[in-house]
Amino acid sequence: MRRKLAAGNWKMNGTAAALAELDTLAAALSGDGPQVVICPPAPLLYRAAEKAKGTGIAIGAQDCHMQEAGAFTGDISAAMIADTGARFVIVGHSERRDAHEESNRDVRAKAQRAWDAGLTAIICIGEALDDREADNTLDIIAGQLAGSLPDHATADTTVIAYEPIWAIGTGKVPTLAQIVEVHDFIRAELSHRLGAEAAESITLLYGGSVKPENAAEIFRAENVDGALVGGASLKAADFAPIIDALAAS
């Protein structure tokens, strides 16, 4: 049985006052529901991890550096993230791939470093609108998955998040058939590389304009095990219904 997971990516939003949302969210969660992960900005990681203790909410970071330590001003290592009490880290988000020109090779190195630090890496992949319109989606996904995923991935070390770039923050959402096609393809690619048993155990998330209004339909897809949520995760009142929809799926 794969674990269901709802991850909230706060991106560059929130100060210490925003951590009150963790209390509100924790109060809304049931003990046997999906795994919930909140990924706040780096300055909030330690305080978030402390506040989340005993609530069932795990804390994750939004990125890590590919090196263990060194002269990398402004960066944060996977070991530093783990030291805050966080347990997850997002790597390869399209906003990092685009704005910071991160390659598949970079993402792979970051995921490996996350594993080395005892973190679970949420590895993001997804196509741009031009790729979708040119019917190149599956080729792009195959290349990103092959290049970004280190060898020997397991359910404990790895979550895969499919986020079509053209759907992130735009309000546009692929059809259920398009989501199903890509998630089924990812599962098949993982099976070819890792073997059927390992592939079946890895959690696959969908991300891109997930809201309370569309979550239940998205979670109908067999190989969608949860969601990576952006703006709708900033407020517990918006995120909790998404988690409830996942629990009911």
5-248 folds as: TIM Barrel (3.20.20)
Told to judge if 192 belongs to the known catalytic residues of this protein, a careful annotator would answer: no
Q: Which of 21, 95, 102, 163 is catalytic?
A: 163
Going by C-beta distance under 8 Å and a sequence separation of 6 or more, which residues neighbour residue 71?
A: none
Tokens of 12: 């560059």
Tokens of 136: 């190149």
This prediction's pTM: 0.97
Told to judge if 50 belongs to the known catalytic residues of this protein, a careful annotator would answer: no
Going by C-beta distance under 8 Å and a sequence separation of 6 or more, which residues neighbour residue 174?
A: 164, 167, 182, 208
Q: Which amino acid is it at 225?
A: D
Q: Which of 93, 95, 102, 183 is catalytic?
A: 93
pLDDT, residue 67, reads 97
Q: What is the pLDDT of residues 8-58, one digit of tens each?
A: 999 999 999 999 999 999 999 977 899 999 999 999 999 999 999 999 999
pLDDT greater than 90 at residue 234: yes
Q: What is the pLDDT of residues 132-165, one digit of tens each?
A: 999 999 999 999 999 999 999 999 999 999 999 9
Task: Return the axis-axis angle of helices 176-194 and 137-148, rounded to nearest 10°.
Answer: 40
Average pLDDT over residues 200-227: 95
Query: What is the domain partition of the chain in residue ranges?
Result: 5-248
pLDDT, residue 237, reads 97
- What is the number of alpha carbons within 13 Å of residue 220 lying toward its C-beta? 8
CA–CA gap between residue 26 and residue 180 (Å, rounded):
31
Please measure the distance between the N-terminal and C-terminal CA atoms of the chain and give it in whole angstroms.
Answer: 13
